[in-house]
Amino acid sequence: MSDKPAGAPDAPLIACDICRKEVPLSAAFTPEGAEYVEHFCGIECYQQFVAEAKKHEGNGKAGKP
C-alpha cells in the first residue's frame, strides 16, 4: 500500500513542510509569506508550524523554524 493520495496520476504532488506527507498541489494549504511559501497537508500541520515559529521567536531566533 502506498502513502501517496489517490487522484489523477499526473497531478503534481508536494510534500507538507511539517510531516512530509505528499499531497496534491491543488489541495495543499499554502500561507504565503513575503520571502517564501510553505505548504501544509492540513490545518494541524499549519498550527504546529505557527506554534514552533512563536517558540523560536520568543527565544530571539529569526527566520524559518
Q: What is the pLDDT of residue 1?
A: 45
Question: Is position 32 within any domain?
Answer: yes
| pLDDT tens column, 25-64 | 888 877 776 567 788 999 999 999 999 989 988 876 555 5
CA–CA distance, 13 with 24 (Å, rounded to integer): 4
* Residue 6 placed within a domain: no
CATH of residue 18's domain is: 2.30.170
| Boundaries of domain holding 53 | 13-58
The Cα 54–Cα 11 span in angstroms is 34
Residue 2 has pLDDT above 60, yes or no: no
Instruction: Report d(CA 64, CA 8) in Å as an integer.
Output: 32
The answer as to whether 51 is a domain residue is yes
